[in-house]
C-alpha cells in the first residue's frame, strides 16, 4: 500500500474521518496484507460504469456488481459501499483489515480495494453460483433442490470457515453476521463466508468477551449479544445453529408468510428437538424423505446444541466440524422410517 491512498483521500475535501481510513490501513501495513489498491476509474471501467445490468446483489451497506479486470482477465465482484459516514468507514476498514489477514478455502478472497475521495469499494473473487440463500429459499423451478449429502457438505464448509476464524486467525476473529445470504458458492459449490464488514477481533488476553454496539441480522444474532452487546465466538456458534437449521428444514429463520406459530423457525422447531419421532417434521419437504434417519437425528442434535440459550453450553466450532465431518461422509441408508 502506498501514500497515494492518503493523497486520494485528501482530495475533494474528503474530511478527517475519510482520511482516517487510509491512515489506518497504512498503520496496519505488514507483509500479510496483500490486497491491491485500485483507483476508482479502473473499477468503473471494470463494471461498465456500474451498469445496473451487472448488479448481482445489494444490502444495507451497498451494492455488488459483477466486473472484469482486463489486466488480469479475471471476473470479480465489486462492492460499492453507500456514501458513507463513520459507520461506512468502519465497515470498510474492518473488511479490508480482516480479509487481508486471512486465507482459507471457506473464506471469500479479497483481491483489492479503492479509497478514492468519498468512494469505498472492495474487489473480491467472483462466486459463480450466488448465495446459499438463493439455493435454499429462492430456488428457481428449473433447479434441483440440494440433496441431504450436499447440505451436510455445505454445513461442514461453513463450519470450517468459522473454525479457522476462531482458532487459527491471529488475533481470533468473530464473524458476527453469519446468514445464508453471506455464504457464497463457487464453481464447485464450495461455500465461502463473505461480507466481513461487521467482523470483530476477539477479546484480548485475560478477557472473555468484547462489548460492542448491537449489529447483525434479526433472528440470526445470539440472545446474549442481542440483549447486552457482549460478543464471543459462541455468538457465532449460535448463528451457525440458525443457518444449519435453515439448511435442514428449508425454512427461513423469520418468515412472516407462515402461520403465527411457525413464523420464528427457532421457537417452532425447539419443542420438536426432544422427540425423535417428530424430527422428520423438521426436515425440508423438498428432500422427499431421502436422508439417513440417524443422520437427521444427529444433525438436529448439533443444531440444538448450537442454539442453547446459555453461551457456555454451546459447543466450539472445532467440535461442530468433527461432528459434521462424519455426517458429510454418510451417503447410504436413505430411509427416514420403516427401517
CATH of the domain at 93: 3.30.200.20
In terms of domains, do 157 and 181 share one? Answer: yes
Q: How far apart are the first and last CA of the chain?
A: 62
3-state secondary structure of 107: strand
Radius of gyration of the chain (CA): 21
Q: What is the pairing mode between strands 110-114 and 36-37? A: parallel
User: 229 and 298 share a domain?
Assistant: yes
pLDDT of residue 9: 40
- Ligand-binding annotation for 156, yes or no, is no
User: Of 101, 125, 149, which marks where a domain is finished?
Assistant: 125
197 shares a domain with 174:
yes
Taken in order 245, 248, 252, 258, the sign of the CA dihedral is negative
pLDDT tens digits for range 4-59: 433 444 444 444 544 555 555 555 555 455 678 899 999 999 999 999 999 998 86
Same domain, 252 and 293: yes
Q: Are residues 168 and 299 in the same domain?
A: yes
CATH number at residue 196: 1.10.510.10
Same domain, 115 and 230: no
Check whether residue 173 and residue 244 sit in a common domain. yes
Burial zone of 56 (CB within 10 Å; 0-12 exposed, 13-18 middle, 19+ buried): middle
pLDDT at 244: 98
Residues 205 and 285 in one domain: yes
- Clarify whether residues 142 and 202 are in a common domain: yes
Shared-domain flag, residues 165 and 93:
no
Look up the domain containing 253 and give its range: 132-329
In a domain, 334, yes or no: no
The total of structural domains in the chain comes to 2
Last residue of a domain, one of 76, 103, 125: 125
Residue after which a domain boundary falls, among 125, 158, 187: 125
Question: Any alpha helices (H) in the chain, and if so which ranges?
Answer: 4-10, 16-27, 40-46, 85-101, 132-136, 148-163, 223-228, 233-249, 265-273, 279-282, 293-306, 317-329
Q: Is residue 155 part of a domain?
A: yes
Is residue 33 included in any domain, yes or no? Answer: yes
Contact yes or no for 307/270 (Cβ under 8 A)? yes
Same domain, 109 and 140: no
Q: Are 49 and 109 in contact (CB under 8 A)?
A: no
pTM, full prediction = 0.84
pLDDT in tens, the chain (339 residues): 443 433 444 444 444 544 555 555 555 555 455 678 899 999 999 999 999 999 998 866 789 999 999 988 999 999 998 765 555 677 787 778 778 778 899 999 999 999 888 889 999 999 999 999 999 997 777 789 999 999 999 999 999 999 999 999 888 899 988 999 999 999 999 999 998 777 777 665 545 556 555 555 667 888 888 888 888 999 999 999 999 999 999 999 999 999 999 999 999 999 999 999 999 999 999 999 999 999 999 999 999 999 999 999 999 999 999 999 999 998 655 554 444
Amino acid at each position: 500500500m502506498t501514500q497515494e491512498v492518503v493523497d486520494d483521500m485528501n482530495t475533494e475535501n474528503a474530511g478527517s474521518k475519510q482520511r482516517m481510513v487510509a491512515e489506518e490501513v497504512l498503520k496496519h501495513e505488514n507483509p500479510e496484507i496483500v490486497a491491491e489498491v485500485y483507483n476508482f476509474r479502473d473499477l468503473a471501467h471494470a463494471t461498465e460504469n456500474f451498469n445496473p445490468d451487472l448488479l448481482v446483489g445489494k444490502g444495507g451497506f451497498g451494492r455488488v456488481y459483477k466486473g472484469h479486470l482486463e489486466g488480469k482477465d479475471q471476473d470479480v465482484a465489486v462492492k460499492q459501499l453507500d456514501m458513507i459516514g463513520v459507520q461506512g468507514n468502519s465497515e470498510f476498514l474492518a473488511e479490508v483489515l480482516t480479509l487481508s489477514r486471512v486465507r482459507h478455502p471457506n473464506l471469500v478472497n479479497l483481491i483489492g480495494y479503492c479509497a478514492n475521495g468519498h468512494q469505498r469499494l472492495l474487489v473480491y473473487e467472483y462466486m459463480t453460483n450466488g448465495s446459499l440463500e438463493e439455493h435454499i429459499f429462492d430456488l428457481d423451478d428449473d433447479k434441483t433442490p440440494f440433496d441431504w449429502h450436499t447440505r451436510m457438505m455445505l454445513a461442514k464448509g461453513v463450519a470450517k470457515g468459522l473454525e479457522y476464524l476462531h482458532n487459527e486467525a491471529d488475533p481470533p476473529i468473530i464473524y458476527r453476521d453469519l446468514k445464508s445470504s453471506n455464504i457464497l458458492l463457487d464453481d464447485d459449490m464450495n461455500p465461502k463466508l463473505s461480507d466481513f464488514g461487521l467482523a470483530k477481533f476477539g477479546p484480548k488476553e485475560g478477557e472473555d468477551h468484547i462489548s460492542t454496539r448491537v449489529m447483525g441480522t434479526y433472528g440470526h444474532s445470539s440472545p446474549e449479544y442481542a440483549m447486552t452487546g457482549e460478543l464471543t465466538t459462541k455468538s457465532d456458534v449460535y448463528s451457525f445453529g440458525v443457518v444449519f437449521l435453515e439448511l435442514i428444514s428449508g425454512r427461513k429463520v423469520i418468515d412472516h408468510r407462515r402461520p403465527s406459530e411457525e413464523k420464528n423457525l427457532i421457537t417452532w422447531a425447539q419443542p420438536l428437538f426432544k422427540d425423535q419421532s417428530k424430527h422428520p417434521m423438521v426436515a425440508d419437504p423438498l428432500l422427499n424423505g431421502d436422508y439417513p434417519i440417524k443422520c437427521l437425528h444427529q444433525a438436529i442434535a448439533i443444531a440444538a446444541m448450537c442454539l442453547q440459550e446459555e453461551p457456555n453450553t454451546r459447543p466450539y466450532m472445532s467440535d461442530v466440524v468433527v461432528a459434521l465431518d462424519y455426517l458429510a461422509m454418510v451417503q447410504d441408508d436413505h430411509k427416514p422410517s420403516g427401517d
